[in-house]
Structure 1
């Protein structure tokens, strides 16, 4: 009787050779589902049961029989003995039951047989035990150097018995675990925080061992991360090189006008982050920009109190807080930075004329000496990193200081349709800002030149002409 197939092929010498082909196994006659039975016991004396389906997958009828498990004190089947003729494609069912007065593990086998096939169905009943599942990623992936990253791992007990756990790891490891032990009730979960604060570039790995009660195996897992460099910078825009921006200087700006300067906040690294801009009017902005530590709210209040005059009281005081300086603004105030991405920031300085210029002339400062210095601390706060970028923003609001000499021009008698000239000197008394003058025309009066630019500390002359066209 042939047991397989053969194939004939011709060799290079012209001779034929026989090559045996693999013999495929026959398809199974029976299909049993489920292929195994597993009961998790909660208490003694409880009856557990499950149904097994037996199907004839052959193209001819078969006599199917079942054999009782050997341990009949705990295991039983219904009907206790099955002998049924199954036509092709037909199926039958058998009920499997388990009951005991001992909380321990029991294992047995149910046999399903035909004349040419025996199917073994493993039977397992387990006493109360914990079944721990870890939910969370022990691989931190890419981590920025000198940042602080915390991952939470969930220890989920899917079993029907409480357990205690302890964790051990290398004390020299950069990974810090909290807590180091705990207890988990049945069908409950516990939490473990793993914190990493790397100080060097490269891969970081540490072994973590979880120990449980006697009925749960010890688990050893590896916590890993790849530490990469990431720089967050404020860059110049006006210059072609676009180097680091340490200080933003607006210089002098006339009251009522506005000056806009730009800067780029740059994420030079693979990790994305959101950012928020915080602008504070501070006299010590340049000092705070060099301070790597952030001032907390209590220190902010103390610093604010030092700027208040003597006799100030929180309640009932005549003195009140001055209006906050809002002359420097930034847009946008928040945003998102992808890996290696820049976002353009627009800083606007619009000095506002203070209230103290109003009132009697004797109480005003000289116009040439009046100026308001605005010093702001710009902080760029990143959501994914503890580092802050600090930069002082400085501007000076000034008034135009133009002196006209003489301040009055008197023309002698000028004949009708004639002309009379007078020289007027315009002097820019400001030492900081140039001034642009524009003299408008009036009836019978013109000036030449009527417009121009006068540099700080310089003067210019213009000729005022009187040309009467009517008597009077």
Structure 2
């Protein structure tokens, strides 16, 4: 161990006097122990014996001193360092400041580090940052009383994606200039729709053809590919409705409303960092017959092709604080504040295309005939008649008894 030399142990190995005031006697004990198996001559001390001496120090000037004490053991000379320090501030700043992996969402992140003064005199400090990154340090200078501590706040705005590795210059009383490391990794927030089969990212959900009045559901996985908790809400983009490629594209009564045509389940929720949750997209085409006109002339439901965009938007965040366009409000002016003074910003929006086709279950009915007796068309008359008059063709009349000699064939 430290202080063991030539068979003796010196405790302490270095004699130090801290905060040595002038015109004051400072005392400290030093012990020399024989740890060898033979006698040592410091006068005469047998094995395992020890001797304790008291070292006194006094000064008339406030300054630091260094000296030594000579100790002779048998024929060996041992030097014990002697140091005396005048009262002074002893500042210690924690660090580095590491924000870790964060999301680019234009939010203000903050961390606090502590500045200590372990000395007996007040100490001044200065912290300066001259970089171009959105980093703020508060306070940047001040005086710390003896045996006290002060928090220093470091703020960082997550505006840009990339690695942050900045340095702030630190000047503490009685010490050489040093640096404070400020680190962070800023990543892009990313909501993704993944295939439940192979985990590949999906840009489009295809429902294919389904009948009017039925529903079809497609499963997927919603992935929060970010180190932050996010809240999401789904909504159809009604300003970009897509296209209905048919002659009935402009007949809005022929299809259901957008809010019920395609939807996501769940339509809102909270995702933990890097969490995956199942999400289901449902396509529900509906057809509403016209309430005007003859029932017998009603047309069957047309085929319609839909291409709609759904937005999955994340708003707010669990960490940091929202970036708002807030103004300072004086005392008594709170009633004059408008909602436009505080605007919550959207962090991320995911657009996914949903496509599907609505088709009819109606099948074209062939005309029915009564051969030989009433050779007339006997097609049904009703709401679902599919054969129009101009589509009918001429048919041959037949005799009731096809083997008769009077069988005649005529065309009407």
Aligned to 1:329: 266
Of the two structures, which has the highest relative contact order with CA contacts closer than 8 Å and spacing of 6 or more?
A: 2
Equivalences for 1:333-352 in 2 at 5 Å?
Answer: 333-337=270-274, 343-347=276-280
**Structure 1 residue 137, shift from structure 2 partner:** 2.0
**Structure 1 residue 146, shift from structure 2 partner:** 8.2
Out of 137, 143, 147, the position equivalent to 2:96 is 137
Q: How far apart are the structure 2 equivalents of 1:236 and 1:265?
A: 7
2:146 is the counterpart of 1:212: no
Confirm or deny: 8 A CA contact 1:174 1:198 kept in the other structure: no
Confirm or deny: 8 A CA contact 2:96 2:180 kept in the other structure: no
Confirm or deny: 8 A CA contact 2:91 2:123 kept in the other structure: no
Confirm or deny: 8 A CA contact 2:16 2:83 kept in the other structure: yes
Q: How far apart are the structure 1 equivalents of 2:380 and 2:221?
A: 44
Out of 137, 145, 148, the position equivalent to 1:185 is 145
Unaligned stretches of 5+ in structure 1? Answer: 1-25, 65-83, 288-325, 352-367, 369-373, 403-422, 430-472
Aligned to 1:232: 190
Structure with bigger strand share is 1
Aligned to 2:232: 278
Equivalences for 1:62-461 in 2 at 5 Å?
Answer: 62-64=40-42, 84-98=43-57, 103-138=62-97, 150-171=110-131, 173-174=132-133, 176-179=135-138, 180-187=140-147, 188-193=149-154, 195=156, 197=158, 199=160, 205-213=165-173, 216-221=174-179, 223=181, 232-237=190-195, 242-245=200-203, 259=217, 261-265=219-223, 267=225, 273-279=227-233, 328-330=265-267, 333-337=270-274, 343-347=276-280, 378-380=312-314, 387-391=347-351
Q: How far apart are the structure 1 equivalents of 2:33 and 2:104?
A: 62
**Structure 1 residue 178, shift from structure 2 partner:** 1.3
Confirm or deny: 8 A CA contact 1:328 1:350 kept in the other structure: no
Confirm or deny: 8 A CA contact 2:111 2:155 kept in the other structure: yes
Q: Secondary structure at the match of 2:273?
A: strand
Q: Secondary structure at the match of 1:89?
A: coil
2:11 is the counterpart of 1:33: yes
**Structure 1 residue 61, shift from structure 2 partner:** 1.3
Confirm or deny: 8 A CA contact 2:105 2:158 kept in the other structure: yes
Confirm or deny: 8 A CA contact 2:129 2:167 kept in the other structure: yes
Confirm or deny: 8 A CA contact 1:378 1:393 kept in the other structure: no
**Structure 1 residue 54, shift from structure 2 partner:** 0.8
**Structure 1 residue 116, shift from structure 2 partner:** 1.7
**Structure 1 residue 384, shift from structure 2 partner:** 7.3
Q: Deviation per CA, 1:339-367, whole angstroms, max 9, x where unpaired?
A: xxx7243136599xxxxxxxxxxxxxxxx
TM-score (norm 2): 0.53
Confirm or deny: 8 A CA contact 1:285 1:375 kept in the other structure: no
Equivalences for 1:9-48 in 2 at 5 Å?
Answer: 28-41=6-19, 48=26
Confirm or deny: 8 A CA contact 1:285 1:377 kept in the other structure: no
Aligned residue pair count: 307
Q: How far apart are the structure 2 equivalents of 1:334 and 1:32?
A: 63
Confirm or deny: 8 A CA contact 1:170 1:206 kept in the other structure: no
Confirm or deny: 8 A CA contact 2:192 2:222 kept in the other structure: yes
Q: Deviation per CA, 1:24-78, whole angstroms, max 9, x where unpaired?
A: xx961322111112233286666644332211133321232xxxxxxxxxxxxxx
Q: How far apart are the structure 2 equivalents of 1:228 and 1:327?
A: 30
Q: Deviation per CA, 1:373-417, whole angstroms, max 9, x where unpaired?
A: x99853246667994234479899x9x999xxxxxxxxxxxxxxx
**Structure 1 residue 243, shift from structure 2 partner:** 4.1
Aligned to 1:61: 39
Aligned to 1:5: none
